[in-house]
Amino acid sequence: MISITIDGKEIKLEKPVTVLEAARSAGIKIPTLCWHEQLERYGGCRLCLVEVEKIPRLQTACTLMVADGMVVKTETEQIANVRRGILEFLLINHPLDCPVCDKAGECELQDLVEKYGPAKGRYKEKKRKVPESLEDPIIVRNMERCIMCTRCVRMCEGVQGASAIDVIGRGGHSHIEPFSGGKYDCEYCGNCISVCPVGAIMSRLHRHSFRPWQMVNETETICPYCGVGCTLIVQVRDDVIKRVVPRIGSVVNNGLLCTRGRFGYEFVGNEERLTEPLIKKNGVFEKSTWEEAISLVAKKLSEIKEKYGAPAITGIASPRCTNEDNYVFQKFMRTVIGTNNIDSTARTGYAGAQRFIENIFGQGATANIIPGLSNSDLVFVIGGDPTTVNPILGLQIRACSRNGGSILTIGNFKGLEYFSPQKLTPVLYTEDVLLEGIVTALKNKKGLSDANPKLEAKIKDISTSIEDVKNICKIEEKDFNEFLNILSESTNPSIVIGKETTQSNGASYKLLLLSAINYLINGRIYLLSDRANEQGLLDMGCAPDMLPGYMPVSHPESRKKCEGAWKTAAPEKKGLAIFEMIDSARNGSLKAMYIMGENPVFNLPDSGNVESALKNIGFLVVQDIFMTETAKLADVVFPALSWAEKDGTFTNMERRIQRLRKAVNGNGMEDWRIISEIAKNMGRKFDYSNAEDIFNEICRVSPLHKGLTYED
């Protein structure tokens, strides 16, 4: 144990930390400007100077490591004088434009000057003039306000790995500029905005539209964009989202956001949002009341069921809707309609790949902790650029490289370009040959251990020589061998697989080969997921053969478990998968389709074909927040609520169940509530008063969710 005394308080520490960290751990606040908990220590601003007994000069607390017996004072007259002097220096050039600066109220410099002074500046010279840069559509730079703490530069280079900005010029002319000149040429993560302590780098989206103290309504929720599930804070004024910021310490993203999460909130208040139910009459949508639209849908579905039977009706669920929405939807299809005809667009990549890999390695095989990537000694990427599909996960791969790990890629991924990837780029359509070559070489090098006989039986006869790889894939032997050596020598490897592989021709075989590689190097697999609740959708049983918690529909005990909670029989026969639904629509055997929060015309391959198939369905119902390509084809459209307007849960790619919280009011209805109302009109009791009621039922039905509570 190390024992130190700060401001008379004795602090015991288990490991050496900086004086600043030791003070913070004891609740003692030392002022800082260039220090930030997400960044490398810098020691540039000197605001954190402290007195240390037996050391003649003041020391920077953010860089000084503690030593046993150290005695530190953080607030003395001498320190206050020095801090006042430093602030006076900063104010030589920093403008006193707080009344018009958007940062006022949350500006760290403003707070420090208020505490330490100076009340007046002694410098008569003119402040430097740097015109504000408005060249960029999203980020505004006001370099007159910059205090050269370089937090933005260190964030951009050391954490985000974009290296898009740096300090340009010397002395009083120093300022931060993108390498590309006035306009940013970067990933627009906006993490530079998060760490700027003053108003030098700010978002243009909310400029001059609020003061920080007016943001009394803050809601912590989950990002709606991808399967990473970043925590974010939605700041609201007058029921309008004004800003989205991250939270330091949040488990998944720890204070970082990507461009979609940070800047992609304006759609919530878009004037093109659907606000009222619409019924198509003579080919034209007419506004209707909720009662009319709900009773029409209930009546039509009952008639179709009566006339053609339940299998003539299908449902498509949504990876953008909450667990509760999806659970209620599959329950509606199974118990009210009476069919397992429920599926989603996740089938086209994520769902199929996950099922395949879990069949080999067991349930949960792809549910790996995202920060685990940065601790890997090797990350092998195939099938998509993780820095664009799942940007915060991509940062963990960059961190792996910075920590000394190796990055191997099959294909070129721009976001990993500067992280020394060892690349193999086979000619088109020969990826499987290259993977076979890798499996063959790894088998020869490592041998099979009999630990997974089923998988070994499938790969034991694979034999693709280096000659084949050279001739067919057009890859140099030297490059292949280097790649292979790194792969085979790794001790803590991860494999990241994207949709370009899981959705490609021969995806199953490629997944088998990737599973074999994973097996032979003893790694873990991450499946990229580009929709927020793709995992939750599957967990909820939105599949034609699986009930909630992956209980097979064919299994009597599984159905019994659901029937206990649902108080009605669950259908036994496997339903139609999404492409079978499209085929049945085309051949006329499908009479009705209910689509919740999905746009198959846009999101399924061959959109022309999908569109003509959907036009062939007698009765189409769509719930969405915008008039999508699919909604335009519908007979009835219900306006749903967006992610920011409802409560519920999402499950991320790690299988972490996270709370979504309502931040603003919307004009639609929660997806689960619309479906519940239709169910009631069809004579079934779907009596949920809120998302928590539904979550509690999920926990009773799904073995995966057993014992969980909504507030966890």
Interaction site with ligand FES (CB under 6 A): 32-35, 43-48, 60, 62
What CA–CA distances, in Å, run from 279 to 18, 367, 395, 619? 65, 42, 46, 11
Query: At closest approach, how far in Å is the CB of 93 from ligand FES?
Result: 17
Query: At closest approach, how far in Å is the CB of 253 from ligand FES?
Result: 24
Q: Which is nearer to ligand FES, 30 or 236 (CB)?
A: 30
Tokens of 287: 């506004």
Query: At closest approach, how far in Å is the CB of 9 from ligand FES?
Result: 20
Query: At closest approach, how far in Å is the CB of 11 from ligand FES?
Result: 19
Q: What phi and psi values does residue 485 have, to the nearest 5 degrees?
A: -60, -45
45, burial (CB in 10 Å: exposed 0-12, middle 13-18, buried 19+): buried
Q: Which residues contact 329 (CB under 8 A, 6 or more apart)?
A: 315, 317, 321, 342, 542, 594, 596, 671, 672, 675
Q: Are strands 551-552 and 231-237 parallel, antiparallel or unpaired?
A: unpaired
Query: At closest approach, how far in Å is the CB of 3 from ligand FES?
Result: 23
Q: Which is nearer to ligand FES, 46 or 355 (CB)?
A: 46
- Range list of β-strands (E), 568-682: 592-596, 619-624, 636-639, 648-651, 657-660
Q: What is the DSSP string of 22-89?
A: HHHHTTPPPP-SS--TTS-----S-TTEEEETT-SS-EETTTPBP-TT-EEES--HHHHHHHHHHHHH
Q: Which is nearer to ligand FES, 35 or 329 (CB)?
A: 35
The answer to whether residues 73 and 51 touch, using CB atoms and an 8 Å cutoff, is yes
What CA–CA distances, in Å, run from 593 to 89, 130, 549? 69, 60, 24
Q: Which is nearer to ligand FES, 62 or 459 (CB)?
A: 62
Q: Which of 519, 538, 607 is nearest to 349 (CA)?
A: 538
The answer to whether residues 52 and 85 touch, using CB atoms and an 8 Å cutoff, is no
The answer to whether residues 596 and 675 touch, using CB atoms and an 8 Å cutoff, is yes
Q: How far is CA 33 from the centre of its chain?
A: 30
Q: Which is nearer to ligand FES, 154 or 531 (CB)?
A: 154
Query: At closest approach, how far in Å is the CB of 28 from ligand FES?
Result: 14
Query: At closest approach, how far in Å is the CB of 62 from ligand FES?
Result: 3
Residue with tokens 């910021």: 245
Q: Which is nearer to ligand FES, 108 or 580 (CB)?
A: 108
Q: Which is nearer to ligand FES, 19 or 433 (CB)?
A: 19
Q: Which is nearer to ligand FES, 21 or 102 (CB)?
A: 21
Q: Which is nearer to ligand FES, 60 or 323 (CB)?
A: 60
Q: Which is nearer to ligand FES, 46 or 128 (CB)?
A: 46
Q: Which residues contact 536 (CB under 8 A, 6 or more apart)?
A: 319, 322, 323, 326, 649, 650, 651, 657
Query: At closest approach, how far in Å is the CB of 200 from ligand FES?
Result: 16
Q: Which is nearer to ligand FES, 178 or 197 (CB)?
A: 197
The answer to whether residues 397 and 416 touch, using CB atoms and an 8 Å cutoff, is yes
Q: Which is nearer to ligand FES, 45 or 514 (CB)?
A: 45
Write the single-letter amino acid at 390. Answer: N
Query: At closest approach, how far in Å is the CB of 32 from ligand FES?
Result: 4
Distance CA 321, CA 308 (A): 29
What CA–CA distances, in Å, run from 38 to 177, 252, 254, 347, 401? 21, 14, 9, 38, 18
Query: At closest approach, how far in Å is the CB of 85 from ligand FES?
Result: 14
Query: At closest approach, how far in Å is the CB of 82 from ligand FES?
Result: 12
CB atoms within 10 A of CB 14: 7
SS3 307: helix
Query: At closest approach, how far in Å is the CB of 58 from ligand FES?
Result: 11
